[in-house]
Amino acid sequence: MKDVANCPKCGKIFVKALRPICQHCHKEQEDHYDTVSTFMRKKQNRMATIREVHEKTGVDLTLIHQFVREGRIQTKSFPNLGYPCESCGEIIKEGRLCGGCTSNITGGLDQLQKEKEFSERKDSLRRAERSQGATTYHSIKDRL
């Protein structure tokens, strides 16, 4: 049996087959895409920002971001469009994170790796010292 779910946008029950939203919401979303696409195809609107597109078309910002994220609206053709970084909200054109957040995460991971390696070396030195134990040497003195 196919998955039956509630549409996350309108709450109606629908058969979840190809899309995560119901047919009515999908149609509405496609109408919004057509509106944005038509607006952006006009030569005077090609340099518009996300805010300007939102204000002129009335399409929700998150929906415009989704169109750009999905690649339905190409950022190569429209250089002022993008979507927010999932971490800090800076407008980006590809991926999920901006360069700053990516370097912050990788820097943190590198630091954790260095700390782990240092801790492992320290532990191995301690184990080596314990395994050797304290060795005592005695000398034989002349007994007179």
CA-closest candidate to residue 61, choices 81, 44, 42, 78 = 81
pLDDT for res 108 = 85
pLDDT for res 136 = 58
Ordered per-residue pLDDT tens for the chain, 144 residues: 578 889 998 999 988 888 889 999 999 999 999 999 999 999 898 899 889 999 999 999 999 999 998 889 888 888 888 888 998 989 888 888 999 999 888 888 888 889 999 888 888 887 777 777 655 566 776 554
Report the alpha-carbon distance of residue 3 to residue 11 in Å, rounded: 15
CA–CA distance from 123 to each of 5, 126, 128 (Å)?
53, 5, 9
Domains belonging to the chain, first-starting first, are 3-84 (1.10.10)
